[in-house]
Structure 1
């Protein structure tokens, strides 16, 4: 099997770049279908509209219903076809990105992804995570290509709630550990091949950036300002983590996140918050050095990521609940089987309890 690395056609990051979205989208199509939330439109809708008008492109806005599910994708496809649009644009957070990418796949048109938060590594990937209408993980939709354009306006992102940036750090935290596990197992990645050295370097750079600039970035966005540390963390959360997870591989942390989606108590938690705890569970599964575990615990606590089950909203979970989570995480076909050892539901259950104990002891 070949070593493969994939990436979006163009990644653009900078202050005020949303003003140029029409210029970047115009070579792809002249009738843009923009998927956005009502609050997102209130924040940036006029800027987007003016930019498309300046580029002599028609633009149609459609409000997102809140879940990346088949029902929503089918609704949007019917609307897209009705309007006769020729380019998809997703403006918002991870579920909007995944929905826009899935829509573009089904209508066979290009897609532009515009994060208004740096809360996940979804923007750059050739992947949509599909949930049920109720928000439970259903399946991965592997796409034949990455987005044509990813556009990040760091002025917009830095004004989003700090918790969203921190959640993105939680998602990015898993990148290096999952890529390293995948490489150690000589397993295939989401890119359809083996891990490249370039992907491992990007994944490591992602982790190093989090440790160096994570706390500084969180404090800056709490003041709604964009500093060099914020710029670095936005790039780490969005691009380094995006390329790192996709071409480096997914392993334990994201499978454990998927397991936690079956527990209703965790539904109020963001994706990256659950992935951060999943990273601790993966490190326990691997019997990582205590020095490494303490480094991750220190980072999580400094920026405000979960380190215990209580932090995930599971104050007194029953054994039955946690075993259900473990079984979902270790289901056949889950990415946890990219780990460089055999993983069973019993082992995941034990690692969840041990990670929770470590988090409680460290506090």
Structure 2
């Protein structure tokens, strides 16, 4: 099987770049549907509008309904057709961006992705995570190509809640460990081939960047400072993790995240927060050396990422609940089977319970 690496056509990162969106968009079409939240429009709508002033590209805003689900995608498709839009622009968080990609795919238009947070590695990818209207994971929707443009305004991102950037580091933390597992298995990646050396190197660089810059970036953001550490973490959360997970592959961490979506008490947690705990669980499944496991758990604790079930929102832990998570994680169509050894609901259950106990231990509880 061939080795495949895929990426967005163009990636732009820097302070003030959102004000140039009109200039970029005009190269792709004449009329854009811009998907954004109402609160997002209040914060940055005027910046976007000013960037389209004097540009031969008309824009129409529509507010996102909150879930990347089939109903919302269909609603927006109707708007694209009725308004005769020839491109779709998503501005906001992961679910908005995934929805914009889905709408553009079905309507056969270019898609421009403009994250205002870096809480997931979704922006660069040629896929969307589709949920039910109630927020339960349903499926991955894969596309034949990546976004035409990913535009990161680091000045806007630096003003977002620190917890969101930390959640993005939790998502990015899984990148190297999942790519390493997929490589060992010889499994097929999200890109449709085997892992390239370049993808594995990007995934490792992502991990190294988090270890070196993650805590520094968090502290800088808490001080309201856009430093080089923050810029490096924005790149790690978005570009390095995005290319690394897609061309490197997904394995245990994300499947375990998907398992936790069956528990309603976890729905308030961010994707990357659940992935961080999923990463620890995957490493328990792999039985990595104690020193390495301690390094990862300590890193999560220092950032404020969840390392126990209680921190994930599961205040009443029962065998029934955790086995439901384990069974969902082992679903036939999920990526847990990309691990280089047999995984069963029973082994995942045991790993979750052990990971929870390790978390309590390192927290001193």
TM-score, length of structure 1 as denominator length: 0.99
State the partner residue of 1:209: 209
Could you say what secondary structure the match of 2:98 adopts?
helix
For 2:236 and 2:279, the matched residues in 1 are separated by: 17
1:224, CA displacement in angstroms? 2.3
For 1:231 and 1:239, the matched residues in 2 are separated by: 11
Q: Does 1:38 align with 2:41?
A: no
Map 1:168-317; keep pairs closer than 5 Å.
Answer: 168-317=168-317
Q: Does 1:78 align with 2:75?
A: no
State the partner residue of 1:111: 111
State the partner residue of 2:101: 101
For 1:53 and 1:29, the matched residues in 2 are separated by: 15
Could you say what secondary structure the match of 2:278 adopts?
helix
1:136, CA displacement in angstroms? 0.3
Q: Which runs of 5+ in 1 are unaligned?
A: none
For 1:290 and 1:24, the matched residues in 2 are separated by: 49
Q: Work out whether residues 160 and 224 of structure 1, in 8 Å CA contact, stay in contact via their aligned partners in 2.
A: no
* 238-247 vs 215-224, which moves further: 215-224
Q: Does 1:55 align with 2:74?
A: no
Q: Work out whether residues 257 and 278 of structure 1, in 8 Å CA contact, stay in contact via their aligned partners in 2.
A: yes
TM-score, length of structure 2 as denominator length: 0.99
Q: Does 1:21 align with 2:21?
A: yes
Q: Which runs of 5+ in 2 are unaligned?
A: none
For 1:240 and 1:356, the matched residues in 2 are separated by: 28
State the partner residue of 2:166: 166
State the partner residue of 1:156: 156
1:220, CA displacement in angstroms? 1.3
**1:48-68: per-residue Cα shift (whole Å, max 9, x none)?**
111122322100000000000
Could you say what secondary structure the match of 1:352 adopts?
helix
State the partner residue of 2:347: 347
**1:23-43: per-residue Cα shift (whole Å, max 9, x none)?**
111111110110000111011
Aligned pairs, number: 363
Could you say what secondary structure the match of 1:91 adopts?
strand
Q: Work out whether residues 8 and 148 of structure 1, in 8 Å CA contact, stay in contact via their aligned partners in 2.
A: yes
1:76, CA displacement in angstroms? 0.4
